Chains A and B, each alone.
Chain A
Amino acid sequence: MSSERTFLRLLVWAALADWLITRSLARMAIFMPKSPPVLAAYQVIVTAGQYASVLCALLGLIGVGWLAWRARQKSGAAPAVALAVLCILSLASLLASPDGWLVLITQILLLAITGWLGGIISRNVTGAVNKAALLLPVLAIGAGSLYHAYQALFNVMAWPGPSPLAPILFNFGELLAVLSPAGLWWVYGRQSAVTRPWHIYLLALLPAGLFLAARLASPSMAGILAIWSTGLTLYLPSIMYAASLILGTVTLLASHRQGKAAGWALVLLASAGYAPQLSSQMFLALLALSWLAGLWAGEQALPLHAQDGAGAGWIKASLHKIRTRTAL
């Protein structure tokens, strides 16, 4: 196994542990009775979660440093410098609390790097539908970053605020984030060559069912956990989040069965959450996009060119069927 592959596997597991333990399971404790055994169990869980968070942040930093190196080889100095500055700013923010300018510069860099990665992803696929589908997570990350940058701009410029477009931007970004698994499913999960795909769809109903049950049983509790765990506010109809969960799970399972990396990139995206505030989560989002962009040696999400125009082809085939039936 190559160094990069080992690194990405480690990163995914650390990110998953950070997300599920620190930002989900540990926070569920507020809804549990505080008996001594529960408290003792949670102390262990929280310590494990803290370790996962630190490991994830450390790997994220190494990963972005590594990405800067690769960017220099593939795309020249500009993205490499942007990534290196992002790493330095992240480390500097550990020593001095990030003020308006630091936040603004960080978010502008993040936007620029997201745009650069979006460009690579877009160039890697052909077909308007495929391009649009794969750009959904790019745009969601961009919207989250723009939201933070917009608020930081108000602080830096000493404008009275609150920034009037911020809630609209945040909600639009959340819509893109919810649509992102559908986009990945369209490109990577829909026509996956797995045997008995209905098994996967059946399995994918589980998390969606759990989410819907929690949402129906206690809307507030589900809402609080969702925002703490993923950054999503659940302002859209619940069915959209459930559908997104189903398609995301299908993509993950189909990719896993085929040994492809798209599913793992999706895990990183989910671990990063929407409009993240922590530098480590921002790094996860960037690394997920770089994975989708095929910047890691031997870690193409899928042989994208082999799928060129798959979506468009499916639409053409459907239209042909309709025309044939109409003619008959």
Chain B
Amino acid sequence: MRKRRWHFWILVALMAALMTLFKVPMASSQGTTLVAVQVAGDLPIEDLDSPAWQQATAVEVPLSAQTVTKPMNLETRVKSVTARALHDGSRLAVLIEWLDDTRNDQTIRVQDFRDSVALQFPLVDGQPFFCMGMQGGNVDIWHWKADWQADIAAWQDMETVYPDMDVDQYPFASGELPAPSDYQDVNYVPALASGNLFASPRLSPVEDIVAGGFGSLTAESVEGQSVQGYGEWADGKWRVIFSRDLTANDPDDASFTAGKVYSMAFAAWDGANGERNGEKSTSQWVSLQLQGSAGAPAASVQAERPAAPGFPVQTISYILYGAALLLIIIGAIIYFRLPE
């Protein structure tokens, strides 16, 4: 009997080895899930006080200092963000709130840094490294910037912080202190002429970026910028809305379908604390679940595209592993009940 017991434990150890080899998970996570509630009518993409937001359950996501790569700041100030999400079947909107004593929406002087917040979605199956993805595991990043938001209200430049400044002249442009858009010939603003997003007129306070590990952050083209945003600071709190179509044609943009669960991560920067680039607070992956029936066409764009015939390889392999597990357990029971 003792020999049989050892056979059983060796069998369990071998099963664990096989499961490790074939990456079959044996533990499920019941972590933080942000549910995007499906609402009828237009999404409140610029209305922070809309009652529609009350339909979505807010989730508090803890953040901690990014400590994986330099530059890092171990004493970042944003400790958590509160997130809500809505969708209307064709568009997703996410409202992020976090506490911040100071409003930092200028980066004109070298000593100034902006407040900002970012959402991140994997562009591959599974969860790549939570901090800007990894090689072979790209991530789509939506980065809202307080200074870009302020630029939309009123373009900020050196004269904003130094109102008494004087310049001799800016040739080829109208106005005494021209903005890039004031140039009659765009070739005199090479960054703008070459399609540099940073020199282009601000259409959205959100930069749509793709990354595949540290040092690989790449802004999508001006035409590829598909995320809208709106943010306001009041009473020591930032509230920012991100919105975008659920489906995307660009492979560098994440697509979403109602009824499915996705991974997302958050990052936030407090400009008053000198936080910029890698000096930020980040979250682990949390789940984003889009309410609604799975498989239903989520957006008109998706309806135009022929649906790829999806073969549920993963589900079938899980069922096979489950059946194998059941057979082994039944076999073990029969084995132990047999006479010596």
Contacts and interface: CB of A to CB of B under 8 A. Distances in A.
Interface of A: 3, 6-7, 10, 30-31, 47, 50-51, 53-55, 57-62, 90-91, 93-95, 97-100, 103, 106-107, 148, 151, 154-155, 158-162, 166-167, 218-221, 223-224, 227, 277-281
A76 B315 CA distance: 36
30 contacts: A3-B5, A30-B68, A51-B17, A51-B20, A55-B13, A55-B16, A58-B26, A61-B26, A90-B27, A91-B322, A94-B28, A94-B318, A95-B319, A95-B322, A98-B28, A103-B30, A107-B30, A158-B37, A160-B55, A160-B84, A161-B57, A162-B58, A162-B82, A220-B64, A220-B75, A221-B67, A223-B64, A224-B67, A278-B27, A279-B28
B30 A277 contact: yes
A157 B27 CA distance: 26
Interface in B242-270: 261
Contacts of A151: 32, 59
B9 interface: yes
Given A162-B82, A218-B74, A94 B25 contact: yes
A51 B16 contact: yes
A227 B315 CA distance: 33
Given A50-B20, A160-B54, 16 more contacts: A6-B9, A47-B20, A51-B16, A57-B27, A58-B15, A90-B27, A90-B28, A93-B28, A94-B26, A95-B315, A97-B261, A160-B56, A162-B58, A219-B74, A220-B75, A277-B29
B31 interface: yes
- The prevalent SS among residues of A at the interface is helix
Interface residues on B, range: 35 or more
B57 A224 contact: no
A97 B287 contact: yes
B33 interface: yes
A59 B11 CA distance: 12
Contacts of B261: 97
Contact of A158 (B33, B53, B57, B82): B57
A226 B27 CA distance: 21
Interface of B: 5, 9, 12-13, 15-17, 19-20, 24-33, 35, 37, 53-60, 64-65, 67-68, 74-75, 82, 84, 261, 287, 289, 315, 318-319, 322
Given A100-B35, A220-B74, A10 B30 contact: no
Nearest to B55: A158
Given A91-B322, A162-B60, A278 B28 contact: yes
Contacts, number: 119
Nearest to A65: B329
B134 to A, nearest CB: 13
A269 to B, nearest CB: 17
B67 A95 contact: no
A62 B5 CA distance: 14
A5 to B, nearest CB: 10
Nearest to B261: A97
B33 A162 contact: no
Nearest to B289: A99
B28 A55 contact: no
A97 B32 CA distance: 12
Contacts of B57: 154-155, 158-161
A114 to B, nearest CB: 15
Contacts of B13: 55
Contacts of A57: 25-27
B332 to A, nearest CB: 10
A100 B5 contact: no
Most-contacted residue by chain A among B16, B60, B68, B82 (CB, 10 A): B16
A55 B17 CA distance: 8
A120 to B, nearest CB: 25
A97 B262 CA distance: 10
Contacts of A6: 5, 9
B30 A62 contact: no
Given A10-B9, A62-B12, A103-B30, A221 B60 contact: no
B67 A30 contact: yes
B30 A148 contact: yes
When A and B form their complex, which 7 residue pairs have the shortest distance between CB atoms, in order from nearest?
A: A93-B28, A57-B26, A220-B74, A280-B27, A55-B16, A161-B58, A277-B31
